[in-house]
Amino acid sequence: MVAIAPRDNDALKYNPPVGANHLVTNGSDWLWAVDAVYILSLLLILGFSFAARYGERIFHHIFTIALLAGSIGYFVQASDLGNVAVGTSLNQSSHGYSRQIFYARYITWFVTWPPVLLALALLSGVSWATALFNIALAWTWICSWLAGALVVSSYKWGLYAFGLFAYFLLAISLLHTGRVMALQITSAGHYLPLAGWLVFCWMLYAIARGHDEGGNKISVTSGFIFYGILDILTVPLVAWAFMSLASRWDYEALGLNYTRYGRVRPSRTGGGVLGTGRNKVVTNA
């Protein structure tokens, strides 16, 4: 019989880690597992998008972007790429104690969280100005924490506080403004649990950040386990929640009926299509 050789994880062999506190092979294995969750979710949602009713695929498209970006981001991190060694404000000594900081993590959040916020905005019926405000707050939050992660001194806590303030503003916008608008279009029954879940999970990121890159209380691998669970709960799980609920929503009440027509609306006379402006098409009687 031909023996099946076990497949080893050689990522750290080809991409050696940096810093005294760095990713280990078990941590890389975990990251590959999280990446598999993202990829599987991406493929299934792509498949379900073909079964969705025509013009009701906007949420499939939104979460396709989030899951694709997450798949790429976790591939990079599992491969031990997208990181630098940064000195720590704790345990500074002549030994040059440093921690491996993955800036790829923040880039992943920078791309994956806005689609989630956009999906919530469409479900709640808030204005485009509010939707852009929420996305800008998330970007401010992420960039503040990224900058803080690369700071050696205790001044990194100032950047942590700025990011946390942006999170609080985002939470208020989601739970107050979003709720008020969702009540007007009767989507609050689904919007509030989804928004509340995200606000709760994002609060846990603050705890993870304080123990990981902030306070250096846990190892890089332990931090990845914490973040990996949270990332699964905030992107793939929320994506599946949207997919399971989207078929029940009234797209006209949500103001999404335009997705059924694209740039040209069907003619009500049955003689062709009607457009606007220079794309106007004259129909047959």
Residue 149, sorted as left (phi over 0), alpha (psi -120 to 50) or beta, turns out to be alpha
| pLDDT on residue 252 | 78
| Residue 149: strand, helix, or coil | helix
Q: Per-residue pLDDT for the chain (285 aa), expressed as one digit of tens each?
A: 445 556 688 999 999 999 889 999 999 999 999 999 999 999 999 998 887 777 678 899 999 999 999 999 999 999 999 999 998 765 544 345 789 999 999 999 999 999 999 999 999 989 999 999 999 999 999 999 999 999 998 899 999 999 999 999 999 999 999 999 999 888 889 999 999 999 999 999 999 999 998 888 999 999 999 999 999 999 999 999 999 888 788 777 787 766 666 655 555 544 444 344 334 433 333
202 close to 227: Cβ distance less than 8 angstroms: no
Chain-centre distance of CA 177, in angstroms?
21
Which CATH entry fits the domain spanning 14-253: 3.20.20.120, 1.20.1070.10, 3.30.390.30, 1.20.140.10? 1.20.1070.10
- The pTM of the full predicted model, rounded to 2 decimals, is 0.87
Q: Are 254 and 248 in contact (CB under 8 A)?
A: no
Q: Where are the domains of the chain?
A: 14-253
Residue 247: per-residue pLDDT: 79
User: Is residue 255 helix, strand or coil?
Assistant: coil
| Residue 275 pLDDT | 41
pLDDT at 271: 45
Q: Which two tokens stand for residue 48?
A: 């379900």
For residue 23 the two structure tokens come to 């990713």
Structure tokens at 190: 């689904």
pLDDT at 277: 39
